[in-house]
Amino acid sequence: MKRLLLIFTLAISSLFAMAHELSSPNGKMKLLVELLNGTPTYQLHLNEKAIIKQSKLGLELANNQSLMNGFTITDVQTSSVNDTWKPVWGEQSEIKNNYNELALTLQQKSTNIKILLRFRVFDDGLGFRYEFPEQENLVYFVVKEECTEFAMAGDHKAWWIPGDYDTQEYDYTTSKLSEIRGLMEKAVTPNASQTPISATAVQTALMMKTDDGYYINLHEAALQDYSCMHLELDDKNMVFKSVLTPDAVGNMAYMQTPCTTPWRTVIASKNAGDILLSNITLNLNEPCAYETTDWIKPVKYIGVWWEMITGKSSWAYTDEVLSVKLGETDFTQTTTNGRHAANTQHVKDYIDFASEHDFDAVLVEGWNEGWEDWFGKSKDFVFDFVTPYPDFDVEVLRDYAQSKNVKLMMHHETSGSVRNYERHMDTAYQFMAENNYNSVKSGYVGDIIPRGEYHYGQWMVNHYLHAIKKAADYKIMVNAHEAVRPTGMSRTYPNLIGNESARGTEYEAFGGNNVDHTTILPFTRLVGGPMDYTPGIFETKVSVYNPDNNSQVRTTIARQLALYVTMYSPLQMAADLPETYNKHLDAFQFIKDVAVDWDKSLVLEAEPGDFITYARKAKNSENWFVGRTNDGQARTSEISFDFLSADKKYIATVYADAKDAHWETNPKAYEVRKYQVTRKSKLKQLCAPGGGYAISLVPIEDKNELKGLKKL
């Protein structure tokens, strides 16, 4: 009997000590988790190719308490999920959630502390996180360091921006991993808002490509009540280690059991388009937290914004000399009443334009008192979010917008004074609800005050979510700028309809973005959620608006149209001035027609840093839209329309670069052509340097529409 008991005990001990394997539903993605001398490790393979080599897991807590080793496995659970869910808005009207799960409970011998490691393996990648169940030996604790590793299998090509606790507003660099250290200084031209963490730290989502053609993306999902993760590269061994954003005293996170960390994600495929179409980030977030969502609607808007960004107009009302550093450019403005853009009559003009062209809303920045104080007199100035300048009549504009069936979009610049914003939040949101505003663009420019926190630390992460939840109480949608980059939280809180959190179109007026910028962002920043990139700039010479600003937007008009398809967002802005659109109404027609919510999305062509071609089917419609964004090299795009319905013919309106188009020398050279197409049609289209094309595809209902149309 004793012998049988010993054999049984040894068998159980062996079970919990052995390596644990888990495959994806299609069997091609394989995870291996095991304890290495008491330290948890994992590795990931796709088609027998190493995506992540053996990598360590663990955390260091305050008071020199280590959760890195000394563990045994005390419980093993596996499960599978295969279901679908419908987002309130998105790139697909229905999303498949299919994974196999492994949950390992670990116990540290010396402390009896328990950690549960939960892994979910999808066909296109992996999500895993640390979970801390309720327990006697761990109640309140402080994370000093998270030591999650991502060991690379080679010196991969990477598209990266420097690690920074306060901003993602960098141009991307393309290099080998081994070159990051040497290129960091060349890649970064720091301004007042940029402070790289180290010579080898980068931000997520990080995009890579192996020498044998596998694409790998590292990011995180469901970031809440925790600090944003960066990645520090050990470039001798090609191992990334997580680096959390510290608070004002150097701690990373304050936790109370039961609790979890965000998910760490690895998306991998032999096909670049699979990275763009992956739903891992969304699927690792919780379902929608709201009982009703009929008040959450995608928005196409124009705004009193670009004229101020270029320096044509001013945010401030009073006569004052202002000096401010925007991006890499120093601007000095002398403001007068005549240059204040947010005045009643001027905003009416924008409302008229929005109404004429069926836009949903008009954003107005610089409407409230205090801009001259914030820019000029005191960096600690705080706004109250309800007091308009004398030339901005809230009630008149409210009633005028309502008469035109147009909403006004609020702007809240917090100036980084977060406690002040939270004190005013209820009053500000109530003010919005009473005056025809159902969405707000919030800003967090400058250092976080008064505590000296970082934009991406736990304290600020909690604030951003608090603002979203509070807005929901008033049925308000949020578009947060300068906030932490998204991690799929819009599934749970779909009134988060937009974020900036990257180098957007505004930098085109501050010296320009790299020409390949929009061929990289969908693989990096947009992996976590949509971006308010503010496309639609037709006048690429900024000096036309402001003779003192010699910046040039590095794009052709055709590519600006394509961005409405390639840069996904349920919140899309026509960012240029009405006076400019009136000069190009044939091209502007695409911006009017293109959808902002989709039933289906496909990637027809893609290579990070080179080109992306999307096809998307509009929500509850048979209309399709295609967009192609191109880098600085002239290329020929070749696509098939085999995604169209077999029983329909379509009118294809193609907005393309002219033969002599070039972002620098001839950006306004475009052509608008119409064809008759079916699913058997194919297109071969030249894309200029910095160019692209856009296509609208509308089913033909009347045979008379076929007259004069060439077949493609």
Residues 6+ apart with CB under 8 A from 358: 592
Instruction: Tell me if the domain spanning 299-595 has CATH number 3.20.20.70.
Output: yes
Q: Does residue 483 carry a pLDDT above 50?
A: yes
Q: Is the per-residue pLDDT at 198 higher than 60?
A: yes
User: Distance between CA atoms of 527 and 283, rounded to whole angstroms?
Assistant: 12
How far apart CA 91 and CA 188 sit, in angstroms, is: 33
Q: Token pair of 153, please? A: 């299998």
Average pLDDT score over residue span 556-573: 98
3-state helix, strand, coil in the chain (%, to 5): 20, 35, 40
The pTM of the whole model exceeds 0.75: yes
- The answer on pLDDT for 326 being more than 70 is no
As separate numbers, helices (DSSP H) first and strands (DSSP E) second, the chain gives 13, 40
Altogether, the residues listed in the chain come to a count of 712
pLDDT surpasses 50 at 4: no
CA-to-CA separations, 201 to 134, 163, 164, 206, 482, in angstroms, rounded: 34, 5, 8, 11, 20
| pLDDT tier at 510, thresholds 50, 70, 90 | very high
Calculate mean pLDDT across residues 613-625.
98
In b/e form, how buried is each residue of 357-394, taking b as 16+ CB within 10 angstroms? bebbbbbbbbbbbbbbbbbbeeeebbbebeebbeebbb
The CATH fold of domain 20-283: Beta-galactosidase; Chain A, domain 5 (2.70.98)
Write the CA distances from 93 to 64, 276, 643, integer angstroms: 49, 16, 16
Determine which one of 506, 671, 701, 705 is catalytic.
506
Average pLDDT, the chain: 93
Q: Please check the confidence at residue 466 and state whether its pLDDT lies above 60.
A: yes
Confidence of residue 5 (pLDDT cuts 50, 70, 90): very low
Q: Tell whether the model's pLDDT for residue 186 goes beyond 90.
A: no
Contact 194, 164 (CB under 8 A): yes
Q: Is 506 a catalytic residue?
A: yes
Could you state, in order of their start, the residue ranges of all structural domains in the chain?
20-283, 299-595
**Strand spans (E) along 109-228:** 114-122, 125-132, 140-146, 149-151, 157-160, 173-176, 201-203, 206-209, 215-221
- Percentage of the chain exceeding pLDDT 90: 88
The per-residue pLDDT for range 335-355, each reduced to its tens digit, is 455 789 999 999 999 999 999
| Residue 632 burial (CB count, 10 A) | 17
Find where tokens 């076929």 sit: 706
